[in-house]
Every structure is written in structure tokens, then in C-alpha cells.
Amino acid sequence: MVNRGIRGATTVNRNEEQEILRETVLLLREMVERNDIIAEDICSVWITMTTDLDATFPARAIREIEGWELVPLMCSTEIPVKGSLPKCIRLMVQVNTDKSQRDIRHVYLNEAQKLRPDLSESK
């Protein structure tokens, strides 16, 4: 097994706690499903949000998922680059896997699909 990074991003419409938590869980679940991974194989999850989101810590939502209580999580703010995508939540999931880099499925939902259209896939 090797350690691979799985990227994911999504956006919210409002800086509201429940929307941030809900979209974080939806994004993580999609990343897990597309890559057929389990929490035990996760090394850590790095979470960033744009500076216009401050209603809650998105890690709260992940900690409440059964089996994810012990996964190391870290939240931070995204670098505030002018013209960047607003209200964006990004995840970098580091996972132990036998998959090649090419086999990893990155996930971009909502307006975040604009960030990497080459990696965004429809379900």
C-alpha cells in the first residue's frame, strides 16, 4: 500500500452552520464512495474553507460520522486570492491504498466543478 491524496471541493450558498456541515458530509461521502475506501484506511483529512465561511468548523460533521471519530482532521482557511471561488470547502483525504495515482477519483461538487473541470465527473 502507498499513501495517496484524494482531492475534493464543494460550495455552499450561504455562510450557515447546517449548510456547511451538510455539504461537507455530502462531499466526503462521495469521495469515499467513488474511491471505495473505509475510514480505517484514512491517514488524515485536511479541510480548508474560504475566508467568507466562518459559521462552523466543517470537521464537526466528519467527526459525527460513525467510524470516523478517530480519523485525524485539521481545518484551516484557504489562501484569499482575489477572484477565487467564494464559499468553497476543500478536502484533501490522505489514504493508504493499492490504487495508482491514475485510479484515484477526485470529487468536485456544485460550483467547485469550475475549479477542475478536467477532474470533475458526473454521476
Give catalytic status of residue 4 as yes or no: no
The single residue of 4, 23, 88, 90 carrying the catalytic annotation is 90
Give catalytic status of residue 63 as yes or no: yes
The single residue of 63, 64, 69, 121 carrying the catalytic annotation is 63
The single residue of 17, 19, 30, 75 carrying the catalytic annotation is 75
Q: What are the angstrom distances between the C-alpha of 68 and each of 8, 83, 85, 105, 117?
A: 17, 34, 28, 20, 29
Give catalytic status of residue 105 as yes or no: no
Give catalytic status of residue 30 as yes or no: no
Q: What are the angstrom distances between the C-alpha of 59 and each of 17, 20, 53, 73?
A: 12, 10, 13, 6
Residue 117 CB: number of other CB atoms within 10 A? 9
Question: What are the grid coordinates assigned to 20, written together?
Answer: 456547511
Give catalytic status of residue 78 as yes or no: yes
Extract the annotated binding site: 7, 90, 108
The single residue of 34, 78, 105, 111 carrying the catalytic annotation is 78
Give catalytic status of residue 7 as yes or no: yes
Extract the annotated binding site for prephenate: 7, 90, 108
Give catalytic status of residue 90 as yes or no: yes
Active-site positions read 7, 63, 75, 78, 90, 108, 116
